[in-house]
Structure 1
Amino acid sequence: MTLVIRPDPADGTAEHPCHILVAGVGNLFLRDDGFGPEVARRLAADAGRAVPGMLAVDYGIRGMHLAYDLLAGVDILVLVDTVPPDALEANSPGCIRVLRVGREDLDGAAALDPHGMDPVAVLGRLRSLGGELPLTFVVGCVPADLSEGIGLTGAVAAAVPRAMVAVVDLVTNPNREGAPCA
């Protein structure tokens, strides 16, 4: 399920619409790795959180689909995924982190696997496919369990609404440095 909110011609945004892609990535068969797709699905279903120009998509493990959608032109990309804990979060499943991704973060990216999802590889190879890295953020959650199985653990399921708020805050904050659509 995807949600697309078109600009309202009456409010003047139709002339310069912002194209925002919220990409939920991860493997729902690996328990908490399904966090990104769950956030994207809920954002797509929640019209109350709709932002003009925002498209929320559950990409799962479809890296090539994400690459092709980025080539169509995106101003802001928000990847929603699990992230490894940092030193302070080692025992904090469900902790949400917001990171900004720049070209320098993608140096040495792995080869793009047409049958898998490695966000670093997708973004790192974007230029070789004819595209440019848009303003990019990651809304990440520290997982509790990445073993085989379906369903998020309690701590990660509880983090989904907080991640949804973080995504909307990122794409609507007019004070965001470098925002092309502010």
Structure 2
Amino acid sequence: PGTVYLIEPEIEEDGVVSLDTHGMDPVKVIRLSRALGARPTRTLVVGCEPKVILGGEDYDDMLMELSEPVSAAVEEAVKLVESLVTDNGPGGSAGSSTEREVKS
């Protein structure tokens, strides 16, 4: 828990496009944007490994709060996003990593 990841997903071009406001995940959003004419040259996802905090016996009782390791990783994730914007924005250089673990 708390490990920050940088992922460059490979999303198939021919996937099904659907609009469901209660079930939009990143892949569906990217497919929808492509169907609407947006063609980003690169998609990067910054994520953090969660720690499951249970409020009871079932997963139905999972608490919706940041665990200590995840909370401690927020600043590092923000710095990573800022560096990606600087490096990959207009005039920046694009790398080619598919997935990279960022030590916290």
Offset at residue 101 of structure 1 (A): 3.3
Query: Which 5+ residue runs of structure 2 have no aligned equivalent?
Result: 54-60, 97-104
CA distance in 1, matches of 2:17, 2:35: 13
**Partner secondary structure for residue 139 of structure 1:** strand
Percent of residue pairs identical: 39
Offset at residue 136 of structure 1 (A): 1.4
- Whether 1:175 aligns to 2:68 is no
Offset at residue 123 of structure 1 (A): 0.5
Q: Is the 8 A contact 1:110 1:120 kept in 2?
A: no
- Whether 1:101 aligns to 2:9 is yes
**Partner secondary structure for residue 65 of structure 2:** coil
Runs of 4 or more, structure 1, over 6 Å off, are: none
* Deviation digits for residues 142-175 of structure 1 (CA, Å, limit 9, x no counterpart): 1111763232011111110110011011111233
Task: Please identify, of 143-152 and 156-165, the stretch whose mean Cα deviation from structure 2 is larger.
Answer: 143-152
Q: Is the 8 A contact 1:103 1:133 kept in 2?
A: no
CA distance in 1, matches of 2:75, 2:10: 26
CA RMSD of aligned residues (A): 2.6
TM-score by length of 1: 0.40
Query: Which 5+ residue runs of structure 1 have no aligned equivalent?
Result: 1-92
**Partner secondary structure for residue 101 of structure 1:** coil
Larger RCO (CA under 8 A, 6+ residues apart): 2
**Could you say which residue in structure 2 is the equivalent of 1:111?**
18
- Structure number with larger C-alpha Rg: 2
Q: Higher strand proportion, which one? A: 1
> How many residues in Structure 1 have an aligned counterpart in Structure 2?
85
Q: Which amino acid aligns with 1:139?
A: V
Distance change >3 Å, CA 109–CA 94, structure 1 → 2 = farther
Q: Is the 8 A contact 2:4 2:47 kept in 1?
A: yes
CA distance in 1, matches of 2:36, 2:46: 25
Q: Which amino acid aligns with 2:72?
A: A
**Could you say which residue in structure 1 is the equivalent of 2:79?**
165
TM-score by length of 2: 0.64
Distance change >3 Å, CA 143–CA 135, structure 1 → 2 = same
